[in-house]
Structure 1
């Protein structure tokens, strides 16, 4: 598995799948979630509504897949990261968000996947801790599964970009 690091807008990344840092309702929100819903158009929200009608909300750490609508990807993998309160369980929930996104990618024959910095915006997860969890979880997954060929970490801000660059 190859790793790529870029600073920019995940809605413009060419990949088989991009990951959305969603909320449990899957109905769009702020930050990357709102940007993906706006750029992808109504097809994403329509798929999210069907998922919620079928299974209810998406639990923290879980992931679901929708169309990518107007985005330059085939799929959007929506995952819910934890809100940071300083509890150890939150670290495992964040790792689960990455791991379950990767599992969904494998199930949908995704070869390239792009991740944002899950939970580091309005959910206030410490950026350094989140970067370590993201990279460790993806590396551990790649040792057991070779289906995904490339993971792109897409950092919106310079602080996250610099953290990932030092860890990679």
Structure 2
């Protein structure tokens, strides 16, 4: 659950919010998790921040994070925000494309790592004339139920993310 609210005292901001559990693991031979942030960047964009959340990373096992082919960091899944948990904030203003940006999580030599979500926030001089919501699906479920453990980890992760963001203000 992510809530976005309007505050006239803050700059106009457009968000791209993605979620999912990209299971990157040696056992499954899945090494890359790619997230497409589709759509145009508003005219007059002057600040872009990327938030990422990763669970199950291990310090010293070299993973990588890219934004539009630019390396943002190595060993980003190092449990620096808590046991098996990483919440990071990246200034990506200089790497921002005018449309269709991409985040890539690379497993590297991690045994397994789970990128959970990426949020791109772009401050701009002028926003859309009216509020709108556009959904760009990353993947569609093929059926079955979501295990309780996955729901619990996701819920705790979102609560921690909100706590960290609110605590920064």
Q: Give the TM-score, by structure 2 length.
A: 0.29
Higher strand proportion (structure 1 or 2): 2
Q: Give the TM-score, by structure 1 length.
A: 0.29
Higher helix proportion (structure 1 or 2): 1
